[in-house]
Amino acid sequence: MIYGVLSWICAIGGLAAFGYRLPDLLRRKHDIALWALCTYFLCSGLSFLVDLDVLRLHISDLFGHANITSLIVQVLVVVLTAAQQVVLVYWSCPPDEARRRARRRLLFFAAALCVLVAASLAVSPVADSETATSTILRSIQDGGYAAYMSFYLLLCAVGQFETVRLSLRFTKMANRQWLKVGMRTVTLGASLIMVYCVTRGIQIAGTRLHFDGSALDPIQWTCGSIGALLQITGWTIPSWGIHLTRALGWLRSYRSYLRLRPLWWALYQASPDIALAPPRSWPRDIIPTRDPHYSLYRRVIEIRDGQLMLRTSLSLEDFSRMARSLRLPEDPTSPLGEALQVRAVLSRPPAERAERADATDIPVRPPYEDFRDEVEWLTKVASSFSALGRRRLGRDDAELLS
């Protein structure tokens, strides 16, 4: 049951990845690495698809050869293993050197594939097995097929070992975060596939040494399937990872935008001129129609403009008197101090607020050079502003400013 689910996921994942990169391939027809990558995706998806229990018998009937899908899968795996080598070589080496190395690897795997296909003519898997997993388990009881399978596993293990080596090398060279994440994922997948090769090899050895290795079957097919899925994911991460980063950045900006709203709204009601584009309605302000990064940028500027306009109505003596009355620190440059300045001025009636006080003696915190630091600071100010509102700063406190 679990093996069937994993097989479906891997088949769909591989074919979906191929479809995802196909438009790029049509635009970049001379990109050899991309050709190799798409070959990998296609072969990976097909290798799981043709071996699904709901299809394998129909495919065997179509070709008129029992369990022909076992050979098809093995051929596809050898091809995708070679394709991985080509991708990594082209990504990690200069073009001329990459062509030479890729050519050598392709010749090696092409020769090995010819030997594999020729050997399959001499040995065949059992013909009466109902599932893909049981086919191999029963077939390796035959000495000839066990030798054939050992050669196939050796090819896979060598290919995945090279994938691990080249992926680790390229990870050190990569200068993009998601590319490094993708290569580490490919490395992990290749390592699990090597575990598959080892466990399958132990099962083959068990047939010669007279011990039952069937208990390892769940381990080998789980490692093989999850390893393949990790590799598919790893090869696609550089393409969609950047979109995930942008989405997370969008969410962070939107969250900060909402957290600044109580402070901005209070300043906007006191000084509507601070808004470049006044909100037409509450829902449109909560869900901005423009880029949230731009909306957050405007919100920060408008808050700073509003604070600057209100500061002219508050002196340092007024601020200190209000802070002492609330038993709060008398630091006007802290987040709480900035919030208290706004609350103190807004607690005055509008007529009194219009009277200008000598506010030049209130220290001003210089703005941060990094916009993210500025957002973090104003978020703390907005949080303190809301907390002061819950303390019901009102008319009695405003009288302290008179």
- Residue 313: CB atoms within 10 A of its CB come to 21
How far apart are the C-alpha atoms of 285 and 288, rounded to whole Å?
A: 6
Q: Which domain holds residue 264?
A: 260-399
70 and 112 both lie in a single domain: yes
Reading the block at residue 331, the tokens are 């630091």
> Does any domain span residue 334?
yes
Reading the block at residue 341, the tokens are 């300045």
79 and 183 both lie in a single domain: yes
| Amino acid, res. 169 | R
Spatial contact of 150 and 201, defined as CB atoms under 8 Å apart? yes
Pick from 246, 271, 291: which residue ends a domain? 246
How far apart are the C-alpha atoms of 300 and 5, rounded to whole Å?
A: 50
238 and 364 both lie in a single domain: no
Give one word for 358, left, alpha or beta, with left for phi > 0 and alpha for psi -120 to 50. beta
Say how many domains are in the chain: 2
> Does any domain span residue 252?
no
Pick from 246, 280, 299: which residue ends a domain? 246
How far apart are the C-alpha atoms of 129 and 217, rounded to whole Å?
A: 16
239 and 382 both lie in a single domain: no
160 and 279 both lie in a single domain: no
55 and 164 both lie in a single domain: yes
Q: What is the mean pLDDT of each run of 10 residues along the chain (402 residues)?
A: 85 94 91 95 94 81 78 93 94 90 95 92 65 68 85 94 92 88 95 94 85 82 93 93 91 94 91 84 76 91 89 80 85 89 82 60 80 94 89 50 46
265 and 118 both lie in a single domain: no
> Does any domain span residue 179?
yes
Residues 6+ apart with CB under 8 A from 289: none
> Does any domain span residue 254?
no
205 and 95 both lie in a single domain: yes
170 and 302 both lie in a single domain: no
Pick from 213, 246, 279: which residue ends a domain? 246
| Amino acid, res. 189 | G
| Amino acid, res. 13 | G
> Does any domain span residue 204?
yes
Name the residue with tokens 């604070």. 307
b or e along 14-44 (b: 16 or more beta carbons within 10 Å of the residue's beta carbon)? bbebbeebeeeeeeeeeebbbbbbbbbbbbb
> Does any domain span residue 255?
no
Nearest in space to 7 (alpha carbons), one of 294, 251, 221, 165: 221
79 and 170 both lie in a single domain: yes
Q: What are phi and psi of 16, to 5 degrees?
A: -65, -40
Three-state DSSP class for residue 5 = helix
> Does any domain span residue 136?
yes
237 and 267 both lie in a single domain: no
User: DSSP states of 176-202 as a string?
Assistant: SHHHHHHHHHHHHHHHHHHHHHHHHHH
214 and 348 both lie in a single domain: no
pLDDT at 199: 92
> Does any domain span residue 307?
yes
Give the distance between the most distant pair of CA atoms in the chain: 103
